[in-house]
Amino acid sequence: MAAANKPPYLRIVEDIRRRISEGRLSPGDRVPSTREITREWGVAMATATKTLATLRQEGAVRAVPGVGTVVASPTPARPVPARSPSETAGPAGGHGPRETRGHEEPLSRERIVAVAILVADREGLTAVSMRRISTQLDAATMSLYRYVRGKDDLLGAMVDAAYAAFPPPSQAPAGWRDQLLLAARLQWDIYRRHPWVAEATSFTRPQATLSTLPHFEWVLRAVDGLGLDPLTMLYVAVTLFSYVHGTAVNLVAEAEAEQDSGLSYEEFSATQQPLVGQLLATGCFPVFTRVTAELADRHHPEDVRPGLDLDALFEFGLQRLLAGLADLVEPVNERVSSPRARG
């Protein structure tokens, strides 16, 4: 197809591909946003959106929440080693698959969990299955059951490993409020690194492990000695972690929406602009119209989601939650430490 006859979005796709191949855009570099494409190439927002969607479908770029669309890292082909009869033979001269192939690292619970986490990080929790993990490990599916009892056991081990990478510090800051802030932010870091943990974690039927319990213990220690009864102490801990978990669920929802639609948050928002404009033009939503207009004036036009960043929302809600807990904790603490109470 001659260049003049190509649709505008394809010409832009080729231009961005050329920048990547020539090294002007490296893996991890941010590619032009939809707004930047409309300005640089003089096309409509729908054309810019289709451009990035095409590049994403090709695997040339990927969307990073809170950052935008960046150049994807090349995925090297996975070599398949040749196998000798002795490698494919089972125990005692049988013909079943062995747990190790060639010179690969032998199977272990830690290795299975690590691969499962890698799959979940890249594709979400629904992609994790015993068959999928065995394929990644080039091992027989049934051989995995020597190390994990099943899918539930695997998920529990994955959550435990995710928490183990973010242990509470050995020294606590002064004051119950700063200690709860630290605990909540640490939980948020876990969910940010592994969004699927929010989906795999239950607060009604929690799985206690050596790596998750220290986080709960930290919060209980933070409010211990403040005059709260044991049940209230438990409620404080569950309320705090439930808030972090509830906010983190949006990370999973955003990742799934992006995977299903092929559109980043920025690109999806662009497709909604005509409809939103029509609704606001009716005059039925004057406050919403004023607020969004003021936000647009105050923020840089390239902001992906001005005022709606999940990290900012998390911090806003966390501060309000702790302010509410102060109304509970501090009056009780004052009564416990007053001279009359001590006398």
Q: What is the pLDDT of residues 218-269, one digit of tens each?
A: 999 999 999 899 999 999 999 999 999 999 988 877 766 666 666 666 677 7
Angle at CA 219, nearest 5°, toward 213 and 222?
140
pLDDT beyond 60 at 99: no
Q: Is the domain covering 176-264+304-342 a CATH 1.10.357.10 domain? A: yes
Looking at the chain, which residues constitute the CATH 1.10.357.10 domain(s)? 176-264+304-342
What pLDDT, in 10s, does the model give residues 24-47? 888 888 888 877 888 888 887 778
Higher per-residue confidence, 80 vs 4: 4
How far the first Cα of the chain sits from its last, in Å, is 92
- Positive or negative: CA dihedral 44, 50, 53, 55: negative
What pLDDT, in 10s, does the model give residues 69-79? 888 876 443 44
Residue with tokens 């080039």: 138
With 0.85 as the threshold, say if the pTM is over it. Answer: no
Range with the poorest average pLDDT among 87-91, 103-107, 194-198, 276-280: 87-91
Looking at the chain, which residues constitute the CATH 1.10.10.60 domain(s)? 96-164
How many other C-beta atoms are found inside a 10 Å radius of the C-beta of residue 229?
9
Helices (H), the chain: 8-21, 34-41, 45-58, 85-88, 109-123, 130-137, 151-164, 176-193, 196-200, 213-223, 230-261, 265-281, 286-298, 310-337, 339-342
Using DSSP's 3-state secondary structure scheme, residue 61 falls into strand
147 confidence band (pLDDT: 50, 70, 90) = very high
**Hey, which residues does 68 pair with through a beta bridge?**
64
CB 90 within 8 A of CB 96: yes
Residue 190, judged by CB atoms within 10 A of its CB (0-12, 13-18, 19+), counts as buried
Distance CA 84, CA 102 (A): 8
Does residue 124 come out as left (phi exceeding 0), alpha (psi in the -120 to 50 range) or beta? left
310 confidence band (pLDDT: 50, 70, 90) = confident
pLDDT beyond 80 at 102: no
As a whole-number percent, the residues of the chain with pLDDT over 90 amount to: 37
CB 172 within 8 A of CB 222: yes
Computed over every residue of the chain, the mean pLDDT equals 79
Looking at the chain, which residues constitute the CATH 1.10.10.10 domain(s)? 8-71
CATH superfamily of 96-164: Homeodomain-like (1.10.10.60)
CB 112 within 8 A of CB 133: yes
Name which CATH class applies to 8-71: mainly alpha
Which residues does 56 contact at the CB level (< 8 Å), separation at least 6? 62, 63, 69, 262
Could you tell me how many residues make up the chain?
343
Which of 292, 268, 278 shows the shortest CA–CA distance to 56? 268
Which residues does 144 contact at the CB level (< 8 Å), separation at least 6? 107, 112, 130, 133, 134, 137
* pLDDT of amino acid 220: 96
- Positive or negative: CA dihedral 80, 86, 92, 93: positive
Segment 5-19 mean pLDDT: 87
